[in-house]
Amino acid sequence: MTRNESKDSIQKRIEELREQIRYHNYRYYALDDPVISDAEYDALFRELVRLEEAHPELASPDSPTQRVGFAPLDQFEPFDHPVPMLSLENAMNREEMLEFDRRVTKLLGVSEPIAYTAEPKMDGLAVEILYEEGRLLRAGTRGDGYRGEDVTPNVKTIRAIPWRLFSPADGPPIPQRLTVRGEVYMDRKAFEALNREREEAGEPLFANPRNAAAGSLRQLDSAITARRPLKAFFYGIGLLEGVSFETQWDLLQGLRKWGLPVNPLSERCLGIERVLAYYERIEEQRPSLPYEVDGVVVKVDRLEWQRILGEKTRSPRWAIAYKFAPHQARTRIVDIQVQVGRTGVLTPVAHLEPVTVGGVTIRRATLHNLDEIERKDVRIGDEVIVQRAGDVIPEVVRPIREKRTGKERPFRMVAECPSCHGPVVRLEGEVVHRCLNKSCPAQVKAAIRHFASRDAMDIDGLGQKIISMLVDEGLVKNPADLYRLTEEDLLKLPGFAEKSAANLIRAIRESRRPELADFINALGIQLVGTHLASVLAEHFKTFEAFRRAGREELTAIEGVGDKVADSIVRYFQNEENRKMVDALLAAGVTPRDVEAAPTESAPSFWRDKTVVFTGTLASMSRKEAADRVKALGARVASSVSAKTDVVVAGENPGSKLERARTLKVRIMDEDEFLRSLPEGT
Ligand SMILES: NC(=O)c1ccc[n+]([C@@H]2O[C@H](COP(=O)([O-])OP(=O)(O)OC[C@H]3O[C@@H](n4cnc5c(N)ncnc54)[C@H](O)[C@@H]3O)[C@@H](O)[C@H]2O)c1
Ligand SMILES: [Zn+2]
C-alpha cells in the first residue's frame, strides 16, 4: 500500500466514524431512542479520537469530537447557558485514571497527593436551573453545551427540585443568581413499571432508564412529565453570584443545605488510590442501587485549581468520568418463544445458551415485541450480545451479523395463543400482539402472580408453580378464588404436606388487610402500576371512593391522563371485574383507608382548615405562606382559638405557640409545613 492510499483509507474511516457518530447522537440526544449500546458508541468515539490525534491534519472543527451533545430541537424555546456546559472525558481503566492524576499533578506543579471529590455518575440527563434570589426562574437541558432546550414547566413538576431555595442558619446565604447543574433520572423500578404500562398500552418502550428520563423531561406537554416519576441529583454550578465556595466538596454541602438533592454516596478522597478504592466500592453497590450509575465522576476538589486547569473544547481538564465496564456478554439464541402476560400481551423471549453476565447466569432475555425484533434484526440461532443493567430484565442488544451461517431463522409471531389457542391480534395503533381471551389460563396465572406479588397483596409462598397447578386444576379462576381455598384442596395437589398447606392458607388469610395502594395495584387494572396506584390511593383515601370515581374526577388528578381514566372506568364497568372485586370484599379483604397525613396527602389536607402563622419562616414571607394555604382551601386566622386546626411556627414564635400548646392545637414547624404543600402551589 502506498502512503497516499493508506492516508485515503484513514480519511475515509474518519469520515465514516463521524457520520455514524452524528447519526447516533441524533438518535440518542434528539430522539431519546438510541440504536446501539453506550459501550458500542464509546468504542466508535474513542476510535475517532485516536485517529484524529494520530493525524492532526485530518482534524476538523465540526467533528463530533469537538462538540458536546446535540443542538436543541426548535420545538422548544432556547435556553442559553451562562457558562458552557461541557461533557466529560472518559477513563476506561485504572491506567487511564493514573494518567489523569499524573497530568493534573504536573499541570498544577504540586508535589502532594491531590484531593478529589468522587461522585456516582448518574445515568440520566443533564439540566441547568437558574435561581434568582432563591426562586426557580428557568431550567434547560444541556443541548450542545451552549444552548439547550427550555424545559422550565417540566422541571417544575419534579418534586425533588425546590421552587425556592432554603437558607438554614448553618448554611450559605441565598445567592443573588445561581445556575445549578444536575442530572434528572428515573429509578429502575419506576422505569420498569413505566415500560410495563407502555407495553400494556401497546406503546413503544424506552430502551433504558436514561432514555425514559430524557423522553419524559423533553415533553412539550408538562402534564406528561408530571405523570413520570422523575428525580434529580445536583453536582455543580455554572453561575454563582454573592456566595463563594473553596472546594467542590463544600459546594456539594452548600447545595444540599439550599434544599437541592445531592447524592449521599459522594465522597472526598485524598489521593488517586482512594479514588480507585471508591470506584470499586460503588461498582460493588451498583446492582443494589435503586438507580442506574454508569461510572464515577472524579473532580479536583479545590475550585481554585479547577480554574487553573481550565477546559478543553469539549471537556474540563479537572474532571474525568471513570466508567464501569458494561454488563454484556456474547451467547447464542436457541429459540424465541412467546410469553403471555396478564393483560394478554405476547412478549417474545429469547432462550439463550446460558451465559454469565456480571456474575449472574442468564438463560432468557426479553425481546419486547415484534417491531423490536425486526428493528434489531434478531434471528433464531444468532450469536448475540446480551446485557444486564442492575436488576433490569436482561435484554438482547444486537446480533453479531458477521457470525451468521445462513442457518438462522427469522422469528414469526404465532397465529394462536400458546396457552389457550385463541386468535392473536394486533390492535390498531399498538406495537404489541395480544390474546383477547379473558379466561386464557396464561393470563389468569399471570394475573394471580401479579395479585400475590410483593407490591400487591404480598402473599408469601404463593409462587409460580403453585399458581400454575391451582389454575390447571380449576381450583382458582380469579384472585378472589384464592380466599376460598382450603387445606384439603391443597393436600390434593402434588408436593403439599399438612404443614405447607396450612402455611399457605394462613398466608392467604393474612393478606386480607392490604394498604389501599397495594390493593389497587393488585387488581391489575391496565395502565395502573405501583406509581399510579399510590397516587390514586392518596387521592381517594378509601376503596369505595376510588371505585365510584367517574372519568372527570379521575382526570382532574395530577398525573392521571385520559387513557388511564378510561381504563379505570372500563375496569369497573366490566361485569366480571365487579363480581370479582365484590367477591374479594365478601371474603374479608379490607384495604386500609389512607389516613389524612399532611406530608402525604397535601392537596386535601389544607381544605377547610383554620390556620395561624407565628414566627418567621425562612423560605417565604408569612403573606406568601398564607396565600399558598388559602389557595388550597384553608382559612387564615390571626389568633389561636379552640377552632384553630393548625399553627405553623417559624423561628422566634410568639405567645401564639404557647396558646396552641395549651389548647392542644396541632403545631407544624417549617419543614413539615413545606412538605405539606403540593408542588406548584
Ligand atoms: N448509545 C448511543 O447511541 C449514544 C449516543 C450518544 C451518546 N451516548 C452516551 O453518552 C455519553 C456521552 O454523553 P455526554 O456528553 O453526556 O458525556 P458523559 O455522559 O460521558 O458525561 C458527562 C455527563 O455526565 C453527567 N453526570 C452524571 N453525574 C455527574 C456528576 N456527579 N458530575 C458531573 N457530571 C455528571 C452529566 O450529565 C454530564 O453532562 C457516551 O459516553 C455514551 O455513553 C450514547
Ligand atoms: Zn390465550
What separation in Å is there between the alpha carbon of 442 and the centre of ligand 2?
6
Please state the ipTM of this predicted complex.
Answer: 0.96
Any ligand 1 atom below 6 A from CB of 302: no
Give me the number of domains the chain comprises. 4
Question: What CATH number is associated with residue 50?
Answer: 1.10.287.610
What value does the mean pLDDT take over residues 130-154? 96
Residue 361: CATH number of its domain = 2.40.50.140
Output the residue whose Cα is nearest ligand 1's atom 42. 38
Domain match, 309 and 336 both: no
- Residue 471: CB atoms within 10 A of its CB come to 20
Helix (H, G, I), strand (E, B) or coil at 176: coil
Same domain for 57 and 186: no
Element (H, E) at 184: strand 177-186
Place of cell 395530577: 558
Give the Å distances, CA to CA, from 418 to 342, 344, 424, 470, 595. 14, 11, 10, 19, 45
User: Strand, coil or helix: what is 369?
Assistant: coil
Cell of residue 90, nine digits: 472518559
Please identify, among 278, 307, 323, the residue that sits at the C-terminal boundary of a domain: 323
620 inside domain: yes
Ligand 1 site, residue 126, Cβ cutoff 6 A: yes
Q: Are 217 and 229 in contact (CB under 8 A)?
A: no
How confident is residue 628, by pLDDT bands cut at 50, 70 and 90?
confident
Last-in-domain residue among 376, 405, 434: 405
Closest atom, ligand 1, to C-alpha of 266: 31
Q: Which of 595, 593, 594, 590 is nearest to 510 (CA)?
A: 590
Determine what percent of the chain is predicted with pLDDT higher than 90: 66
Contact, 100 vs 320, CB < 8 A? Answer: yes
Tell me: the pLDDT tens digits for 452-466? Answer: 998 899 999 999 999
Query: From the CB of 28, is ligand 1 less than 6 Å away?
Result: yes
> What burial class does residue 107 get, using C-beta atoms within 10 Å of its C-beta: 0-12 exposed, 13-18 middle, 19+ buried?
middle
Contact 372 CB / ligand 1 (< 6 Å): no
Pairwise CA distance, residues 661 & 69, whole Å: 57
- Residues near 294 by beta carbon (within 8 Å), at least 6 away in sequence: 38, 121, 123, 323, 324
pLDDT of 368 > 60? The answer is: yes
| Spacing, Cα 575 to ligand 2 middle (Å) | 20
Ligand 1 contacts CB of residue 291 (under 6 A): no
Of residues 631 and 596, which shows the higher confidence score?
631
Most confident of 199-203, 354-358, 376-380: 376-380
Using a 6 Å cutoff on CB, does residue 146 contact ligand 1?
A: no
In the numeric block, which cell numbers belong to residue 291? 438507580
Examine the domain organization and report whether 349 and 319 are in the same domain.
no
Do residues 332 and 315 both lie within one domain?
no
Query: Do 316 and 335 fall into the same domain?
Result: no
Q: Is the per-residue pLDDT at 336 higher than 60?
A: yes
Q: Is residue 53 part of a domain?
A: yes
533 found inside a domain: no
Annotated binding site: 38-42, 87-88, 119, 142, 183, 299, 323, 417, 420, 435, 440
Instruction: To the nearest 10°, report the CA torsion of 17, 23, 29, 34.
Output: -100
Q: What is the pLDDT of residue 159?
A: 86
pLDDT band (50, 70, 90) for residue 392: low
Three-state secondary structure call for residue 494: coil
Residues 253 and 316 in one domain: yes
Rg value, the chain, Cα: 28
Ligand with an atom nearest the CA of residue 69 = 1
What value does the mean pLDDT take over residues 528-547?
91
- Give the active site residues: 121
Whether the CB of 297 sits within 6 Å of ligand 1: yes
Confidence of residue 433 (pLDDT cuts 50, 70, 90): very high
Distance between CA atoms of 271 and 254, rounded to whole angstroms? 23
Query: Quick one: which ligand is closest to 341's CA?
Result: 2
* Protein residues placing their CB within 5 Å of the ion ligand 2: 417, 419-420, 422, 435, 437, 440
Pocket test for ligand 1, best of 46, 117, 183, 320 (most atoms within 8 A of CB): 183
Specify the residue for cell string 414571607.
621
Q: List, edge to edge, every strand of the sheet that includes 90-91.
A: 90-91, 319-323, 293-300, 115-122, 267-270
Same domain, 181 and 317: yes
Nearest CA to ligand 1 atom 21: 88
Q: Is the pLDDT of residue 605 over 90?
A: no
Binding region for Zn(2+): 417, 420, 435, 440
Task: Clarify whether residues 295 and 340 are in a common domain.
Answer: no
- Tell how far CA 4 is from the center of its chain: 51
DSSP, collapsed to helix, strand or coil, labels residue 171 as coil
Q: Is 591 helix (H, G, I), strand (E, B) or coil?
A: coil
Lowest mean pLDDT among 9-18, 294-303, 564-573, 621-630: 621-630
Q: How far apart are CA 200 and CA 207, in angstroms?
A: 16
Q: What is the DSSP letter of 387?
A: E
As given in the structure block, the three cell numbers for residue 38 are 453506550
Task: Judge residue 292's burial from the number of C-beta atoms within 10 Å of its C-beta, 0-12 exposed, 13-18 middle, 19 or more buried.
Answer: buried
Residue minimizing CA distance to atom 41 of ligand 1: 42
Give the torsion sign (CA, 146, 149, 150, 154).
negative
- Whether residue 360 sits in one domain with residue 224: no
- Which pLDDT score is estimated for 601? 42
pLDDT tens string 243-276: 999 999 999 999 999 999 999 999 999 999 999 9
Query: Which domain does 56 fall in, by range?
Result: 3-66
pLDDT at 596: 59
d(CA 658, CA 664): 10
> pLDDT value at position 602?
44
Q: Mean per-residue pLDDT for 150-165?
A: 93
- In this structure, the number of other CB atoms found within 10 A of the CB of residue 489 comes to 16
- Whether residue 3 has pLDDT greater than 70: no
Residue 623 banded pLDDT, cuts 50, 70, 90: confident
Distance of CA 671 to the CA centre of its chain: 26
**436: its cell numbers:** 383477547
174/301 same-domain check: yes
668: how many CB neighbours lie within 10 A of its CB? 16
Ligand nearest to the CA of 440: 2
What does the pLDDT read at residue 679? 59
Backbone φ and ψ of 359, nearest 5°: 85, 0
- Whether residues 135 and 167 share a domain: the answer is yes
What is the rounded distance in angstroms from the CA atom of residue 436 to the CA atom of residue 424?
7
Domain boundary among 323, 346, 374: 323
pLDDT of residue 604: 61
pLDDT band at 208 (very low <50, low <70, confident <90, very high): confident
CATH of the domain at 311: 3.30.470.30
Round to whole Å and give the CA distance between 519 and 192.
19
Query: Percentage of the chain with pLDDT > 70?
Result: 97
